[in-house]
Amino acid sequence: VAADASPLSLAGGWSLDAAERALLSANTRVPLTEKETSLLLCLLSAPGRSARREELLSDVWGYAADADTHTLETHIHRLRARLKEALGEGEWLRATESGYEVCL
């Protein structure tokens, strides 16, 4: 993501500032790790469809499609916690039959 990219608008007055690696609202900043930011950007780039596990592993970590790892699931768990912290209760990130999707 280019450092000069504009923040992406999300639900409830929140935005994702990829350059700053943070979720932002009028008076709150929730820092994200580099991987959480990349993962969220990949999920947001697939509106209306689920991002496949293999696609996320390849795009975020550079792993082969057949990689045997729980890296994605661990990061999904942490990202869900961050979204809950920032946005409150809700199904902001859900598992589907074919992968994961973000509901922002």
pLDDT digits 0-9 by tens, 44-74: 887 778 999 999 999 999 988 777 889 999 9
Q: Find the mean pLDDT for residues 94-104.
A: 89
Q: Is the pLDDT of residue 3 over 70?
A: no
Which pLDDT tens digit goes with each residue over 7-17? 888 878 889 99
Question: How many angstroms separate the CA atoms of 95 and 31, rounded?
Answer: 23
Q: If you average pLDDT over every residue of the chain, what do you get?
A: 87
Task: Provide the pLDDT for residue 2.
Answer: 46
Whether residue 85 contacts residue 94, with contact meaning beta carbons closer than 8 Å, is answered with no
